[in-house]
Amino acid sequence: MEHQIEDRSGLGVGVVPSLIPSVSLGPTGLFDAPSSLNERLAVLHRTIRALSGLEGLGRVAVTTYDAGTDELRTFIDSSDRPTELAHYQARLSATTMLIEAARARSWRILALHPPSEDNRKRHSRSLYDAGYRSSLAVPFFDYSGLLGFVFFNSTADGFFDGGVPQRLWPYVQLIALMITNELTAARIARAGAKTIQGFSHYKDTETATHQERMAHYSRLIALENATRWQLTDEYIEHLFWFAPLHDIGKVGVPDSILLKPGKLTDDELLAMKKHVAIGIEIINTMKREFHLDGLPYISILYNAVACHHESVDGSGYPNGLAGDQIPLEGRIFAVADVFDALTGERPYKKRWSNEEALDYLIDLSGKRYDPLCVSALVDNVPAIDAIQRRFARELAV
Ligand SMILES: [Fe+2]
Ligand SMILES: [Fe+2]
């Protein structure tokens, strides 16, 4: 499939491979798996080099912006040489040039200099070490505000001088469109689930902050193992977005069970365990009604709900999957979820200290829980403290 796009570069209208649709009809007549944003960015990168006479454009990358934490996070990247710029985050407020660009809603060109004492920022240093000498940063927005930045890099000095930013402008719009399409779908999924939760007593037993902390712990575990598991930033970001929805099925569990202060009877436990099946039904309905099937990584949302109670020794539920049969995100969510459940207060239990909760996880490491997920928490107590401090006020609820 090909699309005509308007090329305001002055080089005429170009024909580029399909970039926006995330599904295509495969040779078997079945729908191919949705292509990831990383794959689509790589196609766009090749297209820009070939059609716009910008052969020296070595890198196109996107960082997303989280207004809640003021964090810019690496998201997708197409580079002609390795950089160390994956799994990286920085505060926007610490980067004057990018704040200016966001305020002016305009691009900024930057020459990359050898790292000096006063320029030890990992971002600039990594790009310089990889051989890049010039950089162009362009902010992009949606109705709610700043969504992130598109970065272009070249090994040539002064590559972005002259009319190059104007020639790249249509491509920035295309990248922004690609990303907002995907973010909007993910937001719909999250907003739908939060609305459902808001109408149930489920909100009384597990606060919104449990879900947020659990998402942060999941991200911490994924980042810690990113190299070993070869995880992309795109995967990790989706993991973070969808983690809070893991217990959506609890909206279908009776209040008498959810709010019971004491131990559950066998029958009650059985009813409680049904929250996974109910959650799967809700997610399948949402996928169907909101047309989310074409969303790459939608399987993470499904697995968050379906697999967060599976155990690596096969003793979990609902399917008794073992080891690698459990999707990676299921193993990550299981550890993040139980850690926050133990260290938070619930109607049926007091709060455990971090040390007690980590000891519990260590005891069950390799039995119920994935050892690499457990060590990611055990080895990062200061990061856990930082997450808990960020949500300290809500912890007192
Ligand atoms: Fe659960
Ligand atoms: Fe939970």
At 57 the pLDDT is: 96
In the predicted model, what is the mean pLDDT of residues 331-350? 89
Is residue 155 within 8 Å of 58, Cβ to Cβ? yes
Q: Is there a domain that residue 189 lies in?
A: no
Rounded distance between C-alpha atoms, residue 358 and residue 336, angstroms: 11
pLDDT tops 90 at residue 263:
no
Whole-number Å distance, alpha carbon 353 to ligand 1 midpoint, is 21
- Which ligand is located closest to the Cα atom of residue 336? 2
Q: Is there a domain that residue 18 lies in?
A: yes
Residue with tokens 């399409």: 181
In the predicted model, what is the mean pLDDT of residues 59-80? 92
Whole-number Å distance, alpha carbon 337 to ligand 1 midpoint, is 8
Q: Is there a domain that residue 16 lies in?
A: yes
Whole-number Å distance, alpha carbon 185 to ligand 1 midpoint, is 24
Q: What is the pLDDT of residues 216-255, one digit of tens each?
A: 999 999 999 999 999 999 999 999 989 988 988 888 888 8
Q: Are residues 150 and 273 in the same domain?
A: no
Whole-number Å distance, alpha carbon 217 to ligand 2 midpoint, is 12
At 199 the pLDDT is: 65
At 20 the pLDDT is: 38
Of 163-167, 331-335, 376-380, the range with the lowest mean pLDDT is 163-167
At 2 the pLDDT is: 33
More confident residue, 199 or 352: 352
Q: Are residues 244 and 165 in the same domain?
A: no
Non-local CB neighbours of 201 within 8 Å, separated by 6+ positions = 255, 258, 259
- Which ligand is located closest to the Cα atom of residue 245? 2
pLDDT tops 60 at residue 34:
no
Rounded distance between C-alpha atoms, residue 336 and residue 244, angstroms: 11
In the predicted model, what is the mean pLDDT of residues 354-375? 97
Query: Per the omega criterion (within 30 degrees of 0), is the bond before 170 cis?
Result: no
pLDDT tops 70 at residue 274:
yes
Q: What is the pLDDT of residues 290-303, one digit of tens each?
A: 777 777 788 999 99
In the predicted model, what is the mean pLDDT of residues 313-318? 96
Rounded distance between C-alpha atoms, residue 244 and residue 303, angstroms: 12
At 132 the pLDDT is: 94
Q: Is there a domain that residue 236 lies in?
A: yes
- Dihedral sign computed on CA atoms, order 334, 337, 343, 347: negative
Following DSSP, what letter does each residue of 115-166 receive, concatenated? --TT---HHHHHHHHTT--EEEEEEEEETTEEEEEEEEEESSTTTT-TTHHH
- Which ligand is located closest to the Cα atom of residue 251? 1
Q: Are residues 33 and 71 in the same domain?
A: yes
Q: Is there a domain that residue 190 lies in?
A: no
Domain CATH code at residue 360: 1.10.3210.10
- Which ligand is located closest to the Cα atom of residue 217? 2
Whole-number Å distance, alpha carbon 186 to ligand 2 midpoint, is 19
In the predicted model, what is the mean pLDDT of residues 313-328? 96
Out of 153, 181, 209, pick the residue that ends a domain: 181
- Which ligand is located closest to the Cα atom of residue 250? 1
Whole-number Å distance, alpha carbon 44 to ligand 2 midpoint, is 39
pLDDT tops 90 at residue 177:
no
Q: Are residues 50 and 95 in the same domain?
A: yes
Average pLDDT over the chain, rounded to whole? 84
Q: Are residues 151 and 295 in the same domain?
A: no
- Give percent of the chain with pLDDT exceeding 70: 85
More confident residue, 117 or 326: 326
Q: Are residues 150 and 232 in the same domain?
A: no
Is residue 63 within 8 Å of 75, Cβ to Cβ? yes
Q: Are residues 242 and 296 in the same domain?
A: yes
- Which ligand is located closest to the Cα atom of residue 215? 2
Q: Into how many domains does the chain fold?
A: 2
Residue 207 banded pLDDT, cuts 50, 70, 90: low
At 228 the pLDDT is: 96
Q: Are residues 162 and 210 in the same domain?
A: no
Whole-number Å distance, alpha carbon 276 to ligand 1 midpoint, is 7
Is residue 239 within 8 Å of 329, Cβ to Cβ? yes
Whole-number Å distance, alpha carbon 272 to ligand 1 midpoint, is 9
Q: Are residues 217 and 137 in the same domain?
A: no
pLDDT tops 70 at residue 1:
no
Whole-number Å distance, alpha carbon 158 to ligand 2 midpoint, is 51
Q: By residue range, what is the domain housing residue 259? A: 200-395
Rounded distance between C-alpha atoms, residue 96 and residue 81, angstroms: 27
